[in-house]
Amino acid sequence: MSDCIFCKIAQKELPSEIVYEDDRICVFRDNAPQAPVHVLIIPKKHIASLDDTSEEDAGLLSYILLKVKDIAADQGLADGYRLVVNCGEDGQQTVKHLHFHLLGKRKMTWPPG
């Protein structure tokens, strides 16, 4: 999508600190980090939100979830982490390209705000 900032980051048309990428996903540091480690894991394919996924995305979604532990290990999150997906208005999703927040290096609280 031409006006999507996360597509532009994945295509390196916008600067970001990419910490991992392969043919299917891109992982970069959030520019307003909410924890000492805060990276965003995105599919390179433009998908607006979790609500916009379908059966054809099953392989991609499971690929992302299975990659999380490797990305967390690379980020030094041996003591644990939190994975967050905001969806829609009540979920406070602000960027309409599916992303998984990976947060760590601090004790999380519950319930989330």
Kindly list the residues in this chain that would bind Zn ion in the complex (CB under 5 A). 1, 4, 6-7, 46, 97
Q: Is the dihedral of CA 49, 25, 64, 100 positive or negative?
A: negative
Per-residue contact flags (x/-) with ligand 5GP for residues 41 to 60, judged by CB under 6 A: --------------------
Q: With respect to ligand 5GP, which residue has the nearer C-beta, 78 or 109?
A: 109
Q: With respect to ligand 5GP, which residue has the nearer C-beta, 60 or 95?
A: 95
Radius of gyration, alpha carbons of the chain: 14
Rule CB under 6 A: choose which of 28, 35, 43, 103 binds ligand 5GP.
Answer: 28
| Polymer length in residues for the chain | 113
Dihedral over alpha carbons 7, 8, 14, 17 (to 10 degrees): 30
To ligand 5GP, the closest distance from the beta carbon of 100 in angstroms equals 9
Residues with a catalytic annotation lie at 99
Alpha-carbon distance of 110 to 98, in angstroms, equals 23
To ligand 5GP, the closest distance from the beta carbon of 82 in angstroms equals 13
7 binds, among Zn ion, ligand 5GP, none (CB under 5 to 8 A by kind): Zn ion
Strand (E) or helix (H) holding 63:
helix 58-74
